[in-house]
Amino acid sequence: MPNISKAINKDRLVKTTQELIRIPSITGNEGTLAQYIINDLENYGFSTKQDEVGNVIVEFGTGKKSLILNAHMDTVPPEGYTTDPYSGIVKGGKIYGLGASDCKTGLASILEIAKTIPQPSGKLILTFNVAEEGALRGEKYQKGCMYIAKRYKADACIVLEPTMYGDTVKISAGCRGRTVVELNVEGKSTHSSRPETGLNPIDEALKVMNSLKSQTLNSQQYFSTVLHETLSVVSINAGAGANNIIPSSCKMVIDYRTLPNIKDAQKTVRRLIDATKVKTKFNSLFSSPGYVLPEDSEVLKTLSSHVERSFNRQPEVSVALGRADASYFYENGTPAIIYGPGENMQCHKPNEYANVSSLIKCTESILNFTHEFLS
Ligand SMILES: [Zn+2]
């Protein structure tokens, strides 16, 4: 295994991360950041493409094997910050700012790999997507990554979402699925001094909640961890605008996190609701199945060996609890792994940071992996 990571320019890698953090890119406003990425790559001689929703794509090299490196450009809005969310300041080995971990170090890694890698003997596809944290409005698909995953297929894909946990390095070889449904629980409105003449939909919603809570959901071991399904009521809304009226309906939103490869999650929720005999209208808001790669998959084994070499310790392989864009690549036939330089526990937290040493080691490992995978 050749080690080409010496070619990495660490100062340039950190400086690029700082510059990316200093450009705000909350979902829906990724344009300026996309232009920065386009300019940066074109300065190094790459030709770039931008699709109809604003995703940036670069393809280079030819050959039998192909690899996609992907990271998202958008961030959540800053919340609870006591420092400047766009400072990009480096202090005590940490780099600070909104998106430092999620996912600007990931973007910076890909840019550094592009500048450093010798002409690959396979095809390397770099993709930077919009709308991971939030949804696209008025477009065919809700997520920027769906446009990329349908059009660009490869032998493997690494999605550089944050998988560092301090000294522990993780690789997610899959993710749980997610299904979100809205329930309109029906009741019968009446004066609250005579509740027995109506049907209180809040009481009915409680029956649904209690029934959902008492369900035993699926669990299964993947790699060395047992993974559980979870079902949560994430929103409940009722009220007739006056305190002396029993309302006519109550809206609930249910978030169901499924084991990988569960395709009928909506049916499961519907079955659980039907069993309560409560009268409801059922509306599906979102559904994306999870997936898991086989333990002996080539991409997983090769990447793990490079991670071990760069960090001097073995990575923990598991299935991500959250839904990830990687699932879109998998659905479209590209085996995808989630592995990136950011600190996972820093995502969406005030005064977010990433560790500079993890940024450098992770970039080294992906560079070496890319070089070997495409040779
Ligand atoms: Zn992210």
Residue-wise pLDDT tens digits, 215-248: 889 999 999 999 999 999 999 999 999 999 999 9
> Maximum CA pair distance of the chain?
80
Number of Cβ atoms within 10 Å of the Cβ of 235: 12
The sign one gets for the Cα dihedral 149, 298, 368, 90 is positive
CA of residue 154 to ligand 1 center, whole Å: 21
d(CA 86, CA 252): 36
| Pairwise CA distance, residues 56 & 34, whole Å | 7
CA-nearest of 95, 96, 116, 99 to 33 is 99
User: What separation in Å is there between the alpha carbon of 136 and the centre of ligand 1?
Assistant: 16
Phi-psi region for residue 348, left (φ > 0), alpha (ψ -120 to 50) or beta? left
Distance 345 CA to ligand 1 centre (A): 11
Å from CA of 210 to ligand 1 middle: 33
Predicted confidence band of residue 375 (pLDDT cuts 50, 70, 90): confident
Query: What percent of the chain has pLDDT above 70?
Result: 99
The whole-angstrom separation of Cα 365 and Cα 164 is 13
Measure CA of the first residue to CA of the last residue in the chain; give whole Å.
11
Distance 119 CA to ligand 1 centre (A): 29
pTM: 0.88
Q: Output the CA 72–ligand 1 centroid distance in Å.
A: 6
How far away, in angstroms, is 162 Cα from ligand 1 center? 7
Exposure on the CB side of residue 163, measured as CA atoms within 13 A: 29
Residue 337 DSSP label: E
Confidence check: pLDDT of 81 > 80: yes
How far apart are the CA of 186 and the centre of ligand 1, in A?
Answer: 37
Per-residue pLDDT at 323: 87
Helix axes 356-374, 10-21, angle to 10 degrees: 110
| Mean pLDDT across the chain | 94
Distance (Å, rounded) from C-alpha 68 to C-alpha 59? 9
101 Cα to the center of ligand 1, angstroms:
8
Identify which of 306, 308, 368 has the alpha carbon closest to the alpha carbon of residue 3: 368
96 C-alpha to ligand 1 centroid (Å): 16
Confidence grade of residue 5 (pLDDT, cut at 50, 70, 90): low
Q: 343 alpha carbon to ligand 1 midpoint, in Å?
A: 11
Cα–ligand 1 centroid distance for 78 (angstroms)? 14
CA of 240 to the centre of ligand 1 (A): 39
CB 301 within 8 A of CB 337: no
In one-letter notation, the amino acid at residue 180 is V
Give CA angle at 349 (86, 254), nearest 5°: 130
What pLDDT, on the 0 to 100 scale, is given for residue 312? 96
pLDDT greater than 60 at residue 71: yes
The Å distance, Cα 348 to ligand 1 centre, comes to: 9
Which pLDDT band, with edges at 50, 70 and 90, does 114 fall under?
very high
pLDDT at 2: 60
Is the model's pLDDT at 1 over the cut of 70?
no
pLDDT digits (tens, 9 = 90+) for 185-210: 999 999 999 999 999 999 999 999 99
pLDDT for 142 equals 86
Q: Which alpha helices (DSSP H) does the chain contain, by range?
A: 10-21, 31-43, 105-116, 144-151, 201-213, 265-275, 298-311, 326-331, 356-374
